[in-house]
Amino acid sequence: MKNLSPLQSERLKYQPKLPTSLSNGVNSLEMTEGSATQSVADQAQIQKLFANTYGKPVVTFNSGASRSVSQTNVGVILSGGQAPGGHNVIAGLYDALKQSNSSNKLYGFLGGPSGIIDGKYVEFDDEFINAYRNTGGFDIIGSGRTKLETEEQFQKSWAVCKKLNISAVVIIGGDDSNTNAAMLAEWFVKHNANIQVIGCPKTIDGDLKNDQIEISFGFDTATKTYGELIGNIERDANSAKKYWHFVKIMGRSASHVALEAALQTQPNITLISEEVEQNKMSLNSIIEYMTEIIVKRANMGKNFGIVVVPEGLIEFIPEMKTMIANLNDIMKDLEQDPAFTNTTSTREKFDVVENRLDDKNAEVYESLPALIKSQLLMDRDPHGNVQVSKIETEKLLIAMIKSRLEELKSQGEYIGKFSTQAHFFGYEGRCAFPSNFDADYCYSLGYNAYALISFGLTGYLSSVKNLTSPASEWVAGGVPLTMMMNMERRNGEMKPVIKKALVELNGPVFKKLQDNREDWALNDRYLFPGAIQYFGPSSVCDITTQTLALEKSKELVNA
């Protein structure tokens, strides 16, 4: 192998830890079934859509007597955005498959779900897999966001699987990707294809979790990476004492990443989207809240600070959410309107948009800085929604706060200086070398995925629980994908999707932030997490996120 850094050379040697139940291989397991399950909501509709895979039990694995497992070829797909540890899911799947039967084959579909549709694949062998163990990224086979939802796509996928004699497919992805997995599993059963489908829970956003899935993989590494970066900025701010740093951080639909990063670093201001929505905070009220802290710090001689903002904040502000929904609805028509498409004048584009929006929404849109207006008109995502990662919310807040401070200065109520730096931490955390936790967890998820396959299950998500205990005490099993589903509107239609887990405002994680907010706002309690540690004492190298630790401690208290 060429072009290896010293760290990668050492990480390739790391042997991830497994739960004791899996350590003797999948041929020495017994499976325990729980009671029948139902979806989290919309049970009648979900059951009708998934008539062949609905209501299955949660399963748990324990060490058992030796059993025979038939020869199996498996295909694996990386789907959606990258998350640290994806390579180890594949490595764990490969090792379990080969340990069970050396004749088993693992195929990797290239470029995400489109690979299984178009028949683009590679066959893994030891040399191939060994070059990617414990590394970040999804470059082993690449990823993509193609949705698996049409009859033609399912037929093509089946044909490719038959060609390769594949009897099981593992889809590694987030909520949308595992919704695809559920639909593919249902279609295969309905058509007697004899092809199983298993999912693995991935997303750095941390919003794919429930009682059975304690955390999605990648969240641990990504938040520790962001924590290091924010800690570095805090130290710089505390050294120079002249800038307010506004940090926008990954997390569109939920604020788990921002909340975890805040607990790791203790910045002066942290906005949580779910709180903004629940309290119906307007954009102006957010500006007033932040401005008040900035003025108080200035009166203390502190013209510096750190602000952490979740990526999806703008969609949780009530008037912005309503306006964006209205904007999303009219964009298809605007894209066909010559008055909009043929003009090169930005001002004229804005005028067309404002004339099409409902009156109140037009007022909100008109009040925004030109930069934000333009960004709201950028290309939509596959669901027809604005791509919030391209909306520079941090710059919107800076501009509005600056304007408010100028008003206060003219009234003699503010004498400080407001110099700013804007940051967006997103891609920096998606492909980092996985932490020891993610390296172990992902390897276990992949190994466990093959265990689910070996028992003939389909429509399940690989589940490894008890994650705040040593890896040997982790509990392996599976949860039916339909159990996590509800109906949501997508592109104007009600569709089945896995329900996202939002920040619980009455939960222990948010409460820790809430209890310390006033103190952190005015007193500089900055923490400096430093880089992820891979070698050294377990107390440094194997620590979990504060989110998982606090949630697990709550479970233990309530047990």
Domains of the chain listed by start with CATH number: 6-14+70-218+434-480 (3.40.50.450), 219-430+507-553 (3.40.50.460)
**Rounded Cα distance, 531 and 261, in Å:** 13
3-state secondary structure of 130: helix
Q: Which strand (E) or helix (H) includes residue 8?
A: helix 6-11
Q: Whole-angstrom Cα distance, residue 332 to residue 334?
A: 5
Confidence label for 1 from pLDDT (cuts 50, 70 and 90): low
Spell out the residues 6+ positions from residue 551 whose beta carbon is closer than 8 angstroms to its own.
Answer: 214, 507, 508, 509
Tell me if the pTM is above 0.75: yes
Tell me which of 490 and 73 has the higher pLDDT. Answer: 73
The predicted structure's pLDDT at residue 493: 85
Q: Please tell me the predicted confidence (pLDDT) of residue 9.
A: 94
CA nearest to 97, candidates 388, 454, 354: 454
Which member of 95, 176, 205, 524 is catalytic? 205
Mean pLDDT of the region 363-373: 93
Q: Which pLDDT tens digit goes with each residue over 471-484?
A: 999 999 999 999 99
Q: Within a 13 Å sphere around the CA of 539, how many CA atoms are in the beta-carbon half?
A: 0
In Å, the largest CA–CA distance within the chain is 81
Q: Which of 45-59, 220-234, 371-385 has the lowest mean pLDDT?
A: 371-385
Nearest to 440 by CA among 432, 430, 429, 448: 448
How far apart, in Å, are the Cα atoms of 223 and each of 143, 431, 530?
A: 21, 12, 12
More confident residue, 249 or 328: 249
Chain centre distance of CA 229: 19
**381 falls in which pLDDT band (50, 70, 90)?**
confident
Q: Cα angle at 190 between 186 and 194, to 5 degrees? A: 85
Q: Does residue 384 surpass a pLDDT of 80?
A: no
Specify the pLDDT at position 473: 97
Mean local confidence (pLDDT), 430-451: 98
pLDDT of residue 386: 80
Q: Which amino acid type is present at position 52?
A: N
CB 189 within 8 A of CB 444: no
Asked whether the predicted pLDDT for residue 557 surpasses 60, the reply is no
Nearest CA among 289, 247, 262, 236 for reference residue 421: 247
**pLDDT tens by residue, 168-214:** 999 999 999 999 999 999 999 999 999 999 999 999 999 999 989 99
Residue with tokens 């279609």: 187
Mean per-residue pLDDT, 124-150: 96
In tens, the pLDDT along 513-545 reads 999 999 999 999 999 999 999 999 998 999 999
Burial class (CB in 10 A: 0-12, 13-18, 19+), 122: middle
Question: Between the CA of residue 102 and those of 22, 144, 192, what are the distances in Å?
Answer: 18, 30, 27
Q: Quick one: average pLDDT of 153-169?
A: 98
User: Using CA atoms in the order 41, 45, 48, 53, what is the torsion angle rounded to 10 degrees?
Assistant: -30
Instruction: Let me know the angle formed at the C-alpha of 517 by 515 and 521, rounded to the nearest 5 degrees.
Output: 155
Looking at the predicted structure, is the pLDDT value of residue 255 above 60? yes
Tell me what pLDDT residue 3 has.
Answer: 82
DSSP characters for 373-442? HHHHTSPP-TTS---GGGS-HHHHHHHHHHHHHHHHHHTTS------EEEEEESGGGTSSPPPHHHHHHH
Give the mean pLDDT of 127-140: 97
Q: What is the pLDDT of residue 331?
A: 87
Q: What does the mean pLDDT of the chain come to?
A: 95
Residue 382's pLDDT is: 67
User: Between the CA atoms of 390, 87, 180 and 255, what dihedral angle is there, to the nearest 10 degrees?
Assistant: -40
Rg (CA), the chain: 25
Burial 135-155 (b: 16+ CB within 10 A, else e): bbbbebbbbbbbbbeeeebbe
Give the C-alpha separation, 396 to 400, whole Å: 6
Active site residue 207: no
Residue 559 pLDDT > 50? no
Q: Residues with Cβ < 8 Å from 381, sequence gap 6 or more?
A: 387
**CA separation for the pair 498, 207 (Å, rounded):** 10
Instruction: Return the pLDDT at 489.
Output: 83
Summarised one tens digit per residue, pLDDT across range 206-251 is 999 998 999 999 999 999 999 999 999 999 999 999 999 999 999 9
